[in-house]
Amino acid sequence: MKPHAYDVMPAPVNKHVEQVLHKAHKSIKMKSALSGHEGPVFVVRKCHTKEYCLSGASDRQIKLWNITTGSCLKTYEKGHNHEVFDIAVCDDNKQFVSCGGDKPIILWDVFTANIIRKFMGHDQQVNCLCYNKFYNVLVSGSYDSTCKIWDLEARNSRPIQTLFDFQDSVTNVCVTSDQIICGSVDENLRIYDIRFGKLKTHNVGAPINGLYACGDDDYVFCTTTDNKIILYDKAEEKIISEYSGDHETSEFNASVRVTSDNSSVVTTSEDGAIVFYDLVTKKMVNKVFGHEKPIVSMDIINGTKDGSEEVMVTGSLDGTVGVWST
């Protein structure tokens, strides 16, 4: 299945259809700002239930939020010695992993807030994490210019494989059913084929600071430090669309997603806004301000395929978690 019936490539769009698709996105706004962290929030991640999310910040803490009530349900601390950069949640919501400015990757028990296990192997800060679809393998990317693969079912807490192909920090990683996709400061998008042990590399012209795979993993969206969103077709091995002009992603990490109705690409922006671009026409259809400082992380919690509802969370350098909805 493609990311949209338009098959991603530009095509004539019926104006009425376009207005219906973007109606919900034009009414979205930040409904609440959740406070509790003592410093910039670097990551927000949805749980596999509609009303919960996790956040990680410079205060070395991770917090579990009920976004409906706005209450912090639990704080996970005394694990990291530096800021928290990324979180990945297991599908049963019982465990999650985190990484940050220190070297360990930590596996947590959601309910007890206890540390289950620490994974050691990176030489410098760990920037990003992603589970495979079975949640028994974890992939991490680091400032040490490596990507490491971890077997979560093994007794050994060392990586089972290390990828050394990077020339600079690995900023983002995404795992599909048969591929590991990595973004790096060295400006290259790397796609590792797990089945055949092959690597394909595409230079996107600027450091990559955000990554998202969609459309049954046929396509990859990258945000870059030259304020662009790039849509890469893996089968064609080329860039097929670019979105720019209304967002800023030049200095910090960014997030990019496709809305639940598959009509828009949405990204964070360093001016405190989230920005929606029409997937096909590439025009900006909405820009909504909410945070006082740059937004550096975002996730879509819940949405409907007809576009009537969209619930999102954002993490900002202003120290709050934003809850957005239509």
Q: How many structural domains does the chain have?
A: 1
Evaluate whether residue 166 is within a structural domain.
yes
Q: Is 239 within the bounds of a domain? A: yes
Nearest in space to 43 (alpha carbons), one of 23, 26, 24, 65: 65
4, pLDDT greater than 50: no
On the question of pLDDT at 199 being above 60, the answer is yes
- The pTM assigned to this predicted structure is 0.91
Category of 220 on φ-ψ map: left (φ > 0), alpha (ψ -120 to 50) or beta:
beta
pLDDT for position 307: 60
**Region 252-261 average pLDDT:** 94
**Can you spell out the DSSP letters for 210-263?**
EEEEETTTTEEEEEETTTEEEEEETTTTEEEEEEESS---SSS---EEE-TTSS
Residue 186 counted as domain residue: yes
Q: Tell me whether residue 119 is in a domain.
A: yes
Which domain, by its residues, includes 62?
44-265
* Separation of CA 111 from chain center: 24
CA–CA separation, 206 and 211 (whole Å): 13
Q: Indicate if the pLDDT at residue 106 is higher than 90.
A: yes
- Tell me how far apart the alpha carbons of residues 227 and 206 are, in angstroms, rounded to a whole number: 9
Check residue 193 and give its pLDDT: 95
pLDDT band per the 50, 70, 90 thresholds, residue 22? low
pLDDT at 148 over 90: yes
In a domain, 275, yes or no: no
Task: Say if residue 215's pLDDT is above 90.
Answer: no
> Domain of 211: which CATH number?
2.130.10.10
Rounded CA-CA distance 296/43 in Å is 7
Whether 301 is covered by a domain: the verdict is: no
* All residues at 6 or more sequence positions from 90 whose CB lies less than 8 Å from its CB, including other chains: 96, 131, 135
Q: Is the pLDDT of residue 9 over 70?
A: no
Average pLDDT over all residues of the chain: 91
Burial of 10 (0-12, 13-18, 19+ CB in 10 A): middle
pLDDT of 1: 30
Residue 300 lies in a domain: no
320 belongs to a structural domain: no
| Token pair in block for residue 202 | 């595409």
Mean pLDDT over 195-201 rounds to 95
Identify which has the larger pLDDT, 307 or 323.
323
Out of 110-114, 153-157, 299-303, 307-311, least confident range: 307-311
pLDDT digits (tens, 9 = 90+) for 299-318: 998 766 666 678 999 999 99
Asked if residues 169 and 128 have their Cβ atoms less than 8 Å apart, the reply is no
